[in-house]
A and B are shown apart, each in its own frame.
Chain A
């Protein structure tokens, strides 16, 4: 197998990089604002305020 040329590699890098950027941003935003996650985030946010009583179990 011959290794791909510099031109192919840079072209691939330059176009798919943008694609990944958009997909990842959308994915993160959807996860963050997914209504079902709201309760979980609120619980996590407040959970650290009261964690001094030792581990579970």
Chain B
């Protein structure tokens, strides 16, 4: 009695183990080497991290499911390079937790959309896409401009990303809330701190056209405007492709 039971369970557990082994191999073979990939891909020593405002914008991009219709991955195909710019490199999304490469282009790729349009165009387009592109099928995001951005949690967000290996300094983490406000208020008290911590090339502007309150529109436009501009390594490698 006891013996047969042992035998029966040995069968089913053996089957379970065999399934796990058979199903693990492919994943291990394909994924494990990728964790040493930094040895082989181009480096981007001057790549900067997202500012708190851009990170907040990125989280809005995630929250609204923008990735369902917009990719951020330009493939190595000539028409894509022509349409969107240099093809995407692995290093460009090294700080993206999670990546937003996307899988569908109901709308165009956004990997290099930064600075392609003005802040005013971006915020009008988000507010009502059909006001600037009459045939657009994108949803209108009118509430972004009406919603004040919650900046209180940003230090925790940066701290979490720092623990995951994104090179935020302690000062960046500590000042995250103020930096978010400062980046959207160029004449305000906190604007200089943003430039000091994230570099002079950082966009410090009233992204939604109103320097008063920091809105979700400020954050999302700040994020869109930095896409493709954290590092210029893709442009550099295109220029130096012959070397």
Instruction: Report A-chain residues with C-beta under 8 Å of the C-beta of B39.
Output: 5-7
Instruction: Report B-chain residues with C-beta under 8 Å of the C-beta of A7.
Output: 39
Q: Cα distance A4–B39 when bound, in Å?
A: 11
Instruction: Report B-chain residues with C-beta under 8 Å of the C-beta of A20.
Output: 25
The number of A-B residue pairs with CB atoms under 8 Å apart is 26
Q: A17-B25, A20-B25, A24-B22 are in contact. Are A9 and B40 (CB under 8 A)?
A: no
The listed residue (A4, A5, A16) touching B29 by CB distance below 8 A is A16
Instruction: Report B-chain residues with C-beta under 8 Å of the C-beta of A14.
Output: 29
Interface range, A side: 10 to 19
Complex interface residues of chain A between 3 and 48 (CB less than 8 A to chain B):
3-7, 9-10, 13-14, 16-17, 20, 24
Question: Are A9 and B22 in touch, CB under 8 angstroms?
Answer: no
Give the dominant DSSP class at B's interface.
Answer: helix
For the complex, is B3 an interface residue (Cβ under 8 Å from A)?
no
Question: Are A6 and B22 in touch, CB under 8 angstroms?
Answer: no
Question: Are B30 and A13 in touch, CB under 8 angstroms?
Answer: yes
Q: A20-B25, A24-B22 are in contact. Are A13 and B32 (CB under 8 A)?
A: yes
Instruction: Report B-chain residues with C-beta under 8 Å of the C-beta of A24.
Output: 22
The listed residue (B26, B30, B36) touching A5 by CB distance below 8 A is B36
Question: Are B33 and A9 in touch, CB under 8 angstroms?
Answer: yes
Q: List 14 A-B contacts (CB under 8 A).
A: A3-B36, A5-B36, A5-B39, A6-B33, A6-B36, A6-B37, A7-B39, A9-B32, A10-B33, A13-B29, A13-B33, A16-B29, A17-B29, A20-B25
Enumerate chain A interface residues (CB-CB to B < 8 A).
Answer: 3-7, 9-10, 13-14, 16-17, 20, 24
- Counting from the closest, the 10 A-B pairs by CB-CB distance are A6-B36, A9-B33, A13-B29, A6-B39, A17-B29, A10-B33, A20-B25, A6-B40, A13-B33, A9-B36
